[in-house]
Chain A
Amino acid sequence: MTNIKGRIILNQLKVLILVAILILIGQQIGYGVSIIDAMPGMILVILICIVALIIKGFTPKLKFPAFAWASLIALILTMPFVPTSKFILEYTTNVSFLGTTTPILAFAGISIGMKVARLKELSWKLIIIAFLVFLGTFFGSAVIAQIVLKIQGLI
């Protein structure tokens, strides 16, 4: 059992390292962040990711995704009154936010390609409704947020 889990985490670590290399190359080209400068921050990021994957691996019943764990750990470690905050922020600033997004969407694009054929089976009416749903969700939230933030005097 632990052996299988170990194997899974090892495979996940390999993926993380390769993705990290893709990010480092991408942000060197796109945002001029030198690979060497970004390396320590990237190692920190991978360490947090691995911790998130391990927690997720041991809490299969909890419906809290590894993405949320990764976010939560980084959040706690960088709160202003936590001693690790300064150290982690100093290094992770060299990992550009946009740089991390490009490989994700490249993989995501390839993975959804197979679903394109299924789109043809859908009625065009459902496609129109879907776009209205997107707009409704987005602006519904935005309008309420605007009103509440105004009342609170935050904007």
Chain B
Amino acid sequence: MSESDVIETRGRFSIHFKLYITVLIMVVITEFIGIHKIPVGPGTIVLLPMLYAVIIGILITPQVLGKPIKILQKVISSKEVELAGGIVMISLLPLGVKYGTLVGPAVEKIVKAGPAFLLQELGNLGTIMIALPIALLLGLKREAVGASVSICREPTLGVIGGRYGISSAEGTGTLGTYLVGTIFGTIFFGILGGMAVLTGLHPYALAMACGIGSASMMTASSASLATAVPAMKETILAYAATSNLLTGITGLYSVVFLALPFTNWLYKKLQPRIQKGKEAV
């Protein structure tokens, strides 16, 4: 079913009804629990309602708690799951507007920080230097290239899929990072955002780092960072949103022209040294 067919209401009333009521209950519960901040030294573990929501959401699906608790499948079946996927894209829009209203008033400040915004995009290449050697140490071969080339959101999936095929070794690696990001990304970045203050890096620099090319991961990390450093909330959210928008535009080109050639080059250099005795592939 295409994305526009999924949200069709005609003849699909009960699917819509069950899903919205479920989400309403989830929103009421998670907002009732509210924000919890756990100080860890100068850093903070920030637990936001959205974090509980994503966890409850995963838990109530047919393949998780729905498996042992059959009655749950009567409410959330694969049809409701499919509809939820179609709604996510639209439910992101009010957040998009909200981000715009945070960036607009700060536009002068953002133009001033322009060079930092552009150059930190190169920081995405930092992933290769850290992840590739360790992937090789773990014994991965060409999967290592696909997995560590970037944070592997949709543009990367497209590039690697086009170049090597999605079922190739490289494709398996990219798909792995993509999938882990999809499932654990918001939880991971939601906790990292508040904890990152511990590194001593300035919250504004961390805010720019939150824009990694995924709206939900950027939201989780920047909201958590902003809750940990409330005095800088406005600027943190504005910087994160701007950086994410920029990554959305530059991400694809950066993978094609920088990240992928660099990963392949580094693989050729490191593979024979790290995986001695095993032939290069």
Q: Please, which residues of chain B bring their CB within 8 A of the CB of A1?
A: none
Q: Does A22 lie within 8 Å of B245, measured CB to CB?
A: no
Q: How many residues of B contact A (CB 8 A)?
A: 129
Cβ–Cβ contact B237 & A116, under 8 A: no
B94 at the interface (CB under 8 A from A): yes
The answer on a CB contact under 8 Å between A16 and B90 is: yes
Residue of A80, A92, A107, A132 near B108 (CB, 8 A) is: A80
Q: State how many angstroms separate the Cβ of A122 from the closest Cβ of chain B.
A: 5
For window 16-65 of A, CB contacts with B under 8 Å fall at 16, 18-20, 22-23, 25-27, 29-30, 42, 45-46, 48-49, 52-53, 65
Task: Among A45, A78, A155, point to the contact of B105 (Cβ < 8 A).
Answer: A78
Contact call B186/A108, Cβ cutoff below 8 A: yes
State the majority secondary structure of interface residues on A: helix
Q: Which of B222-263 contact A (CB under 8 A)?
A: 223, 237, 241, 243, 245, 248
How many interface residues does chain A have, given as a range?
35 or more
The minimal Cβ–Cβ distance linking B273 to chain A, given in whole angstroms, is 19
Q: Chain B residues in contact with chain A, CB under 8 A?
A: 4, 7-9, 19-20, 22-24, 26-28, 30-32, 34-35, 48-51, 53-64, 76, 78, 80-82, 84-85, 87-105, 107-108, 112-113, 115-117, 119-131, 134-135, 138-140, 143-144, 147-148, 150-152, 172-173, 176-177, 179-186, 188-189, 192, 196, 199, 201-202, 204-206, 208-212, 215-216, 219-221, 223, 237, 241, 243, 245, 248
Write the residues of chain A forming the contact surface with B, with a CB cutoff of 8 angstroms: 7-8, 11-12, 14-16, 18-20, 22-23, 25-27, 29-30, 42, 45-46, 48-49, 52-53, 65-80, 82, 85, 88-89, 92, 95, 97-119, 122-123, 125-146, 148-149, 152, 154-155
